[in-house]
Amino acid sequence: MTYRHIKNSLLSVLPLAAMSLFFSCTGGGGHTGPEVSNTSGIATLVCDASFENIMKQEIDVFEYIYPKASIMAQYADQKACIDSMLDQKTSLIVITRPFNDKEISYMKSKNRTVRQSMIAVDALALIVNPENSLNVISKPEIAEILSGKITDWNQVEVGNDHLGKIEVVFDHQGSSTVQYMRDSLLNGAEFGSNVFAQNSPEAVFEAVRKNKNAIGVIGVSWISSDMQTKDLSREDFAKNIQENDTTTIDQQFDSSVKVLKVRGNNEVTAYKPYQYYIFTGEYPLFRQIYMISTSVPGTPGHGFYSFVTGPQGQKIIQTTGVLPKVVKPSTNVEVK
């Protein structure tokens, strides 16, 4: 397995030329064609690649329900998402933070009104090879692994001598996952030489499956599935989403890797990244997901923003293992 060492700088996933070509072909944040409304026409979206698994499902159902609408999505790092909106190349982005006052004022100077909403709370899962005997890890231990202070598995758990050197694997060196772990656990300090990056979340799985000494950091939607909906056809899944029921999901993690329990600072109990523990805040590695729009009413961009932030879009998020902003079934609970 070939790794790339993560440097301290955050790099863009896509060359600017490629981004420009994409948006010039799709009409940027606007729309094309004779028929344009909230449910017809073309809109562009640039989404943090960490949330690709979630947004693909949102787009799939939206386009199934509204066959005259098309959402042209690009998945990139967070900086590329923000830059694409500031450059007015798209009217929709999905990132881990809201726009600040300076960014909103800048868009206002370009006659663009910013609408933004937190749509979910994502948990970052830690995955290891099934042959690794470790089941629980603490935040301080994670920090020491990321900084390079802990380099061998036997320093984390006695009896894991056969695993040797620890190799931490992220999805991409410029991803928001990397930024979150660096900022929240290392206070912005540089990673150790044992931290590497692949090119995608799928590659993180591959690295962990093939390397007994690897530990992967990945968004919970990539390891979760709803056992009640995972085998449904596109048509049946869309119909299920449109039904006004209060069914909870039967969440299950990918069995090809081991998902570690994580213990917070000075905490005794450790938790896996199930939705309930994300909701209660007992699982300690979590971040918010925001959708930001400059689409005007009467365009498919505005329609898709309303869909994702509305009941149907929130129900789709619930099936991914991520915690939606509005939690069902017992009552509507707005996550702060």
- Tens of pLDDT along the chain (336 residues) come to 556 666 544 334 444 444 444 444 444 444 445 589 999 999 999 999 999 999 999 999 999 999 999 999 999 999 999 999 999 999 999 999 999 999 999 999 999 999 999 999 999 999 999 999 999 999 999 999 999 999 999 999 877 778 889 999 999 888 899 999 999 999 999 999 999 998 888 899 999 999 999 999 999 999 886 544 555 566 766 666 777 554 556 678 888 999 999 999 988 999 999 999 999 999 999 999 999 999 999 999 999 999 999 999 999 999 898 999 976 533 344 444
What pLDDT score was predicted for residue 227? 42
3-class secondary structure per residue, the chain: CCCEECCCCCCCCCCHHHHHHHHHHHCCCCCCCCCCECCEEEEEEEEEHHHHHHHHHHHHHHHHHCCCEEEEEEEECHHHHHHHHHCCCCCEEEECCCCCHHHHHHHHHCCCCCEEEEEEEEEEEEEECCCCCCCEEEHHHHHHHHHCCCCEHHHCCCCCHHHCECEEEECCCCCHHHHHHHHHHHCCCCCCCCEEECCCHHHHHHHHHHCCCEEEEEEHHHCEEECCCCCCCHHHHHHHHHCCCCCCCCEEECCCCEECEEECCCCCCEECCCHHHHHHCCCCCEEEEEEEECCCCCCHHHHHHHHHHCHHHHHHHHHCCCEECEECCCCCEECC
Q: What angle do CA 188, 189, 193 make, to 5 degrees?
A: 135
Pairwise CA distance, residues 47 & 96, whole Å: 10
- The pTM assigned to this predicted structure is 0.83
What pLDDT score was predicted for residue 331? 36
Residue 259 bridge partners (DSSP): 127
